[in-house]
Amino acid sequence: MPEEKNYKTEWSFSFEKLGSDIGGFVRSLGIGDEEAIKEGEFSAPIDGATSAKVRLDFSVGKCDVRPLTNLDNLIEAELTYVGDINFVVTGEAEKNVTLSQRAEAADWVRNVVGWIGSRGELHWDVGLATEVPMQLEVHSGVGESNFDLSQIQMTSGSIYAGAGEVDVKLPARSERYAMRINCGVGETDITVPSGANVDLNVHGGAGKVELDVDEGAQVTAQIDGGVGECRIKLPEGAAAHIEAESGVGDLKFPSRFARISGSDEFVSKKGVWETAGYAEATTKINIRYKGGVGQLVVK
């Protein structure tokens, strides 16, 4: 009997260790760890806007994006940062908003130095309007990122992660929207809340990816694995169809999934798994998974 293959990829990420490593590198260049820490508030009113395009680019620190309780503003941001902030708002019916931190090499070093000197206090707290349909694009840097988009009327969105832990709660929007998440280095947790109707595209990086789908969500997803385990948690009784192909790793499904096609090869396996009653269901979960290095676990 052949030995059972077990491709469990262990992953851990330490923001503090990364900071220490980068800090040692920066100091080895003869750069000190003193940099002016600034605080600033940035906001823009809705002012008759019927739609918006919002882009956020941050460098180093912690970032929280959340629903805005002030119904008069399109965006509100409270930032603790170093260097310079670029905040631009244009347009009338369709607002274009850019909130970014200068990202030239010298500016990145300044941000790292400021992060070290601030003992991790660099922080972006960004609130977005819940009543204006918007396209959202986020480029994160180094640090912990929490994106609560559950109440945002998002028509499409994209998140390009850097290094650190990323936690994303997608909009509970019943009108279908597209969302792309490019994982970076670190763990990425994605929650699809009840009532969501999303086309989701996930590109794995280096680290574990967890996708948690709440009951009543309708999901079409394409997941390309990187280096690390991918875990998908589905509600009990969900109507689900999963096409999966492993890379270097295993594919694990609970007993409620029946394998309706596929083959196992020396290293990889592929196939189609489906729950009973999928064809007749009105709310469906449809996932295509292509593995990298690490196993897929469906729960």
Q: Are residues 186 and 263 in the same domain?
A: yes
Taking the CB of residue 3, how many other CB atoms lie within 10 A of it?
Answer: 5
Encoded tokens for 226: 């990187």
DSSP for 129-177, please give it: -SSS-EEEEEE--BS-EEEE-TT--EEEEEEE--BS-EEEE----SS-E
153 part of a folded domain: no
Tell me: the pLDDT tens digits for 119-133? 457 899 999 999 999
- Where does the pLDDT of residue 5 fall: very low under 50, low under 70, confident under 90, or very high at 90 and above? very low
Mean pLDDT of the chain: 85
Q: Are residues 178 and 122 in the same domain?
A: no
Mean pLDDT of 10-39: 54
Tell me: the pLDDT tens digits for 134-193? 999 999 888 899 999 999 999 999 999 988 899 999 999 999 999 999 999 999 999 999
Q: How many domains does the chain have?
A: 2
SS (H, E, C) 71-105: CCEEEEEEEEECCCEEEEEECCCEEEEEEEECCCH
Taking the CB of residue 204, how many other CB atoms lie within 10 A of it?
Answer: 25
Q: Are residues 202 and 85 in the same domain?
A: no
Q: Are residues 110 and 226 in the same domain?
A: no
115 part of a folded domain: yes
Q: What is the pLDDT of residue 24?
A: 55
112 part of a folded domain: yes
Q: Are residues 279 and 200 in the same domain?
A: yes
Give residue 38's domain range. 19-51+68-135
